[in-house]
Amino acid sequence: MLRGGAAGAPTGARAKAHDYGSRVTDARAVRWDDEAFARARELAGAGFLEVPGAHLTADQIAVLLHLAREESHGAGRLARLDLTGATIDGRADFDGIRFEGPADFEGVRFTGEATFEEAEFAAWADFELAQFAQGASFAGATFHRSASFESARFEAGADFAGVQAPELRFDGAHLRSVTFRDAVVQQLTGEEAHVAGFLRLDGAQCDLLDLPRVVVDGEADATGATFGEAILDDGRFGADALFCGATFERTARLGGAEIAGSMDFTRARFGGEAEFDEVRVDVTANFTQARIEQARRLGPLCARSLRLDRATFERPVRIEAVAPAASCVDTLFRGGVDLLTGAANLIAAGADFGGPSLIAPLRSSVLAARGRPRLLSLRSAKVAQLTASGVDLRVCRFANAHGLDRMVLERAQLSQPPPGLRWTRRHTIAEEHHWRHAHGARGWYGEDVRGDDGMDDLADPLDAAQVARIYRALRKGREDGRDEPGAADFYYGEMEMRRLRGREAPRGDWLRRRSVRRIEPFVLWAYWLVAGYGLRASRALVALVALIALLALPLDRVGFEGGRGYGASVLYAVESSVSLMRMPDAPLTPAGQVLTLVLRILGPLLFGLGALALRSRVKR
């Protein structure tokens, strides 16, 4: 034992060190001479621990720290500490120590567990190049000035939970796993730091989080954290990056980051800019219920799916994303949005486009190939200020959307009726396909019109009147935009649904069928049959020819006194049908007069319908 080492030490220090739970090891285990250790004990008793380059055992460091505690009546004060380049074998317990002067642990090698729980560093603390072979805990520690862990290595877990510090630097550090739960740090920096396990920042408060090119192999969790500015540019995350409920007062930057799991900003608040340029997310980029107050741009980012459900964007924003699926259900774009996506299935049900807005393909992106967005739903959305340009609307549901008559469609792709001569070629909407399929029409509601992921709603189709109202609103929007072809197609769809309303009544419900089938359905059926609702000139002309040919037969037989022959009857029928002011001269029987009256009424009507349809065709 180091008996001579007691010289200069306070009386009873050896026994008190034993009471503290440590003992001085055999001299053969001590890597420095008795005289040096004795001097170290004497200095420790005076509040100085300066043994740079020493190789200390756990027992020796425990004795030295106990003497410091004893000298300060249990307060554990050290006026100065210098362990530069030292090695400490076994556990190093600095819990509760107050470092009143500089604490220099540069290059120290801790072979066992190192704990600094509830320690207080009044001056700077230097742990650069330090090595922690076992766990390291700074839980509850207080740093009054900056502390540097640059290029330090933590081979096991590092615990900084509840730490308070103006600045912690981890540039180039290597950590197994680390937690800063509920820490309060003004500046937390770590350029090119590497965390081999998880990174915990949940509940932390940090004015500046500066971790450019950080590598986190496990999960990064900053749930409920508060940041003034967070910089994670070019970071690499091997699992989920969670920022649920986090607050970013000024700036959030993740430009060029790559995330192997999901990026989750559910209920997060962005008070300033949000920069996500060229972010790649392997699973989901989630901004559900997030609040973006100042940011004017989000992306371009690439993810398997993008979720903006129930988020709030206070100012006009440009969102660029390449994602197979995107959702902004009940999202509030208070100042409007330019939503530019690749070949995505986009759901915007309940979205509020409060300012001038655009949904269009993403024309240029370094992230992925381009494509046409596929808009699946605008149900209950407020779309009066929305322009859909170059979007696939074959699947889109418009039910209960507000402001459809003011929505602008540019180069939109709409569905078509089934192939075949039976159906007129025109633009249709998914609600009509759905309705016809539910009422037994074959060929309607094919795969190109059916929605994905719960959009197939055969159990609850709209009624014909609702579909007609959607067509009417879309028609008005096209008319206001002077788009005659689009307006004509939507008008045709509107009239079709009005004509087919009677099919909705069950066969046994004769009262309902009678109330529906009054004069309007018969007029609409005739209008469809003879003129295609004033849009098919060929039908009107064919109907006119058929009318003349058919009525010429009874004219020939009973219409003239003495008979004139079928050819003369046809000519007379033609003259009667196109002459409004003057009747042809011919002796007619009473039956002939009736037939002539029919020709003089129906002939000009069909001729006018044909002319109207021809004019519409020319304008289109």
Question: Is 253 part of any domain?
Answer: no
CA distances from 138 to 97, 117, 406 (A): 11, 5, 61
Show the 3-state SS of 523-542: HHHHHHHHHCCCCCHHHHHH
Most confident range, picked from 12-26, 323-337, 588-602: 323-337
Whether residue 497 is found in the same domain as residue 544: no
Name the E strands within 369-525.
374-377, 386-389, 408-410
Indicate the SS3 state at residue 197.
coil
Indicate the SS3 state at residue 455.
coil
Question: Is 551 part of any domain?
Answer: yes
Tens of pLDDT along 511-549? 445 544 566 777 777 777 777 777 777 777 888 888 888
pLDDT at position 28: 32
517, 547, 568 - which closes a domain: 517
pLDDT band at 578 (very low <50, low <70, confident <90, very high): confident
Instruction: Give the distance, in angstroms, between the CA of residue 132 and the centroid of all CA atoms in the same chain.
Output: 41
Whether residue 559 is found in the same domain as residue 501: no
CATH of residue 579: 1.10.287.70
Tens of pLDDT along 27-58? 333 445 566 677 777 776 677 888 888 888 88
Whether residue 511 is found in the same domain as residue 434: yes
Mean pLDDT value of segment 59-86: 79
Number of domains in the chain: 2
Question: Is 449 part of any domain?
Answer: yes
Q: Do 89 and 55 contact (CB within 8 A), yes or no?
A: yes
Mean pLDDT value of segment 369-381: 85
Angle between helices 590-619 and 519-531 (to 10 degrees): 70
482, 517, 552 - which closes a domain: 517
pLDDT at position 609: 76
Question: Is 340 part of any domain?
Answer: no
pLDDT at position 514: 52
Whether residue 478 is found in the same domain as residue 545: no
Whether residue 444 is found in the same domain as residue 512: yes
Question: Is 569 part of any domain?
Answer: yes
pLDDT at position 461: 75
Mean pLDDT value of segment 554-566: 76
Mean pLDDT value of segment 337-342: 92
b/e map 374-399, b = 16+ CB within 10 Å: bbbbbbbbbbbbbbbeebbbbbbbbb
pTM: predicted TM-score of the whole model, two decimal places: 0.81
pLDDT at 368 over 80: no
Q: Do 534 and 527 contact (CB within 8 A), yes or no?
A: yes
Mean pLDDT value of segment 88-100: 92
Structural domain boundaries, residue 450: 430-517
Question: Is 524 part of any domain?
Answer: no
Most confident range, picked from 34-43, 53-62, 109-118, 440-449: 109-118
pLDDT at 376 over 90: yes
Whether residue 582 is found in the same domain as residue 509: no
Whether residue 436 is found in the same domain as residue 474: yes
pLDDT at position 382: 96
pLDDT at position 3: 30
pLDDT at 385 over 50: yes
Whether residue 511 is found in the same domain as residue 541: no
pLDDT: is 34 or 253 the higher one? 253
pLDDT band at 484 (very low <50, low <70, confident <90, very high): confident
277-281, 416-420, 467-471: the lowest-pLDDT one: 416-420
pLDDT at position 75: 58
Question: Is 594 part of any domain?
Answer: yes
Mean pLDDT value of segment 322-331: 94
d(CA 318, CA 299): 8
Question: Is 323 part of any domain?
Answer: no
